[in-house]
Amino acid sequence: MKARYQYRFYPTDQQQQSLARLFGCVRVVYNDALAICKQSQKKPKSPELQKIVITQAKQTERRAWLSEVSNIPLQQSVADLEIAFKNFFDDCKGKRKGRKAGYPKFKKRTNRQSARFRIGGFSIKGEGVYLAKIGVVKPIWSRELPANPSSVTVIKDCANRYFLSFVVDIEPINVNAKNQSIGIDLGIKTFAVMSNGDQAFSPDYKKLDRKIRKLQRKLARQQKDSRRRNKIRIQIAKLHNQIADPRKDFLHKLSTKVVSENQTIVLEDLNVSGMVKNRKLSRAISQQGWREFRILVEAKSEKYGRKFVVISRWEPTSQICSDCGYKWGKIDLSIRSILCLNCGTEQNRDDNASVNIEMVGMGHRHDLKCTSRQSKTTSVASVIEA
């Protein structure tokens, strides 16, 4: 299986100019190829596009500067466009799973920039990495590469940070699991409630979020393409990284712990696109990273040889008592603790849901002969007061 290893590096001023030239050429080749595809009645194939936007374009005065950079990233840019179209067509035909892929869009200068080198365009020399027509860059090796990489992608994010992303082949890791299975209920105040009683709390993003909203209002008043607007745009990008980096670190550590300790991991298929339509909770839901956590758990389950199960979103995990299987029906989000009127057990809403998620994922369901109550469920406080 393939894995990605990413390292940050700090290029010199001359290397920054060379990388800026490379990113610009890659972006122009991609946009030229996309423009040709839009004008054509039938989409040309990748070899034909490479001949038009690279080989023939270099012979013209308008695109003669494409010869100043390596040819490999330009070819990979056209290959990326081919993959983007393939994902779009497969999604239209229903052959593709996962997030919906839209029609390819033109690349912008202010967005994230990248250029990919395959074997022949880069080589590792000691502590540095040689890139064709760029020179030797020295990344910060936070960990060793497990094998020789098959490709490397040079990335410049919106906050002007530079990264090297290597693709390597790794072998599955055999680690004995401590527990047989675990169910995880994802939430906002408590990010994850486990069926074994553990809880995980995500970092607090409120202060940084307020700063971003303040700068975004300031950015909306600036003149387009002005120097001050560009300065504020970079400040906003840096604040977004201060949110994204701790979140990514938290999700990686939590997913690694969950996958390494349990043989079967059960999650619930959440309708996030529908939940973010709630104006009061949309910002908090978007900042949690539930989808990213699911992707990490699924990928690491394959790496560690674990079983990953996703149950249907229509399973009434928060409407059934995990002890006796009594169905009390829908309850309001403000009710966090429930007293089961059938067995008399006081159930925490999230703990009860995580246990039910594990039971459904493992195929152990309660006896459905338990009759459900038609009246509205009351909280524990209301029952005690009565």
**Is 185 designated active site?**
yes
Q: What angle do CA 339, 343, 348 make, to 5 degrees?
A: 35
Catalytic residue among 32, 80, 82, 185: 185
Distance of CA 96 to the CA centre of its chain: 17
How far apart are the C-alpha atoms of 350 and 189, rounded to whole Å?
11
How far apart are the C-alpha atoms of 41 and 160, rounded to whole Å?
39
How far apart are the C-alpha atoms of 115 and 28, rounded to whole Å?
12
Residue with tokens 């990233």: 73
CB 368 within 8 A of CB 347: no
**Is 350 designated active site?**
yes
How far apart are the C-alpha atoms of 362 and 262, rounded to whole Å?
13
How far apart are the C-alpha atoms of 92 and 148, rounded to whole Å?
37
Catalytic residue among 32, 80, 261, 350: 350
Catalytic residue among 268, 315, 351, 358: 268
**Is 268 designated active site?**
yes
How far apart are the C-alpha atoms of 210 and 239, rounded to whole Å?
10
Sign of the torsion angle spanned by Cα atoms 375, 378, 380, 381:
negative
One-letter amino acid at 214 equals K
**Would you name the residues annotated as active-site residues?**
185, 268, 350
